[in-house]
Each structure stands twice: as C-alpha cells, then as structure tokens.
Amino acid sequence: MIVSFFLRKISRLEDDVLQLKQMLLDFMAEGKPRVNREAETDFVASMVTQHDQDITNLISDVQGLKELTGSTFVRWGRNECPDNATLVYRGFTSASHYDDTASTPNRLCLTDTPGFDSTDMYGDFYQRVFGAEYFVTGPNHTVVPCAVCRTPQPTTIMVPGTWNCSEGWDTQYIGHIIGHFFTDIRASEYICLDAEPEDADGNEAGWDSGLAMFQEN
C-alpha cells in the first residue's frame, strides 16, 4: 500500500512536470518584454527542476521500500531455494513422534547450524522432537531436508490440489501434499513436499517419526 501511494505521487508529479514544460514553451513563444519573459521562464524552469528532483527522490524511496518488502516460505524436501528466491538458511525437517499423544502437529525446519542450551533445568518435563523421514518411493527412510527461502513477492501461499498458480501469481516450486499415515495417533500438518525430493546428504533415519507420506484425495 505504501509503495502504491508513492507511485501515485510520482505519476502526479510527472503530470505536473509536463504541464510546466508546456508553460515554459508558451512563455518563450509569447511576445512579452524580454525582462518579464525571462523572469517567468526562470521561475517555471526552477519549478521543473525541483519537480524532477522530487521524482528522483521518490523513485529512490520506492526502490528502497521494494527491497524491504517480501515474504518467506519453506521448500520442503530440498536444501536449496528456487532461482527466484534467496536462501535464508537450510536444515532438516523435524516433527514430533508419530506415537506421542500430546505432540504438536506442526513441522519445523531446523537449521543445520544449531545452538544448544542446557536442559538440566527442565528435568523430565519436555516434549520430544525428531527428524522427519521419508516413507515414500525413492528416498525411503532418509532425513527430509528443507530450506527457508525469501522472495520479493509480498505474499506466499500453498495452493493444494493443483500445480498451477492463479493469474498474477508466480510459482515458487511444485510438489505433493504430504502428512502422517492415517492410522497414526497424532495429528499432522499438511506440507508441500518438492516434486523432486532429495535426502539430507544420504543420512538414514529409521526413527519412524515425523513420517512424510503422500496424501490421497
């Protein structure tokens, strides 16, 4: 919205500059005394110069605002971002154990450069988080990589059920909806696994936790 405001202001200033330039040409063409004509043309010329500078400054402001805008998304199943996005960090997909009744359904993209805090203060009061593993044809029972990516687009969404974006939207990546097995006790968040998934450097998991399975619809 702020960018649109500046763009409208730039458009109005550009219209003013065109009018002022036309006034300048009219003054120069009129048969007025030289002193009066020069004074008027100098005044209009100074206004044109000021408006041009205002337009330049506004364009710079708009460019700065565009660089500050954007959104992030997780590319599940890959450790690199698409060509139209920049990497924030890469890591491993993590989730609670499929058999933990009090676990949370959401998945995490854990950084591959973690920092650890002391767990002594918590005693036995904690929740378990495991690495998610594939349970699909291909990279079976290996760790699911992930990448957090930033795009200059202001909004990113997942569109289930299709590989095509609506008009005016750009595709970041295509994939398949995955979640836990239907007999698992815990709930599972649906995520979009890249259509060409990789394993995390060939690491085998074997925890049977946070399983990534294709969904039927």
Residues 123 and 211 in one domain: yes
Residues 64 and 76 in one domain: no
Residues 136 and 172 in one domain: yes
147 versus 47: which is more confidently predicted? Answer: 147
Residue where a domain terminates, one of 48, 68, 88: 68
Residues 60 and 89 in one domain: no
Residues 81 and 152 in one domain: yes
Say how many domains are in the chain.
2
Residues 107 and 155 in one domain: yes
**pLDDT category, 80, cuts 50, 70, 90?**
very high
| HSE (side-chain half, CA atoms, 13 Å) at 115 | 1
Strands 86-95 and 145-151: antiparallel
pLDDT at 148: 97
**pLDDT category, 215, cuts 50, 70, 90?**
very low
Average pLDDT over residues 36-42: 64
pLDDT tens-digit series, residues 85-114: 999 999 988 877 666 666 666 888 988 887
Average pLDDT over residues 172-196: 79
Residues 50 and 128 in one domain: no
Residue with token string 């205002």: 54
**Length of the chain (residues):** 217
Q: Give the amino acid at 53.
A: Q
Residues 153 and 86 in one domain: yes
Strands 191-194 and 175-179: antiparallel
pLDDT tens-digit series, residues 15-25: 766 766 666 66
- In the chain, % of residues over pLDDT 90: 19
Residues 155 and 207 in one domain: yes
**pLDDT category, 216, cuts 50, 70, 90?**
very low
SS3 letters for 42-66?
A: HHHHHHHHHHHHHHHHHHHHHHHHH
Residues 6 and 108 in one domain: no
Average pLDDT over residues 154-166: 88
d(CA 27, CA 33): 11
pTM, entire model = 0.62
pLDDT beyond 70 at 168? yes
Range of the domain at 28: 2-68
Most confident of 55-59, 91-95, 172-176: 172-176
pLDDT at 217: 39
Residue with token string 């337009």: 55
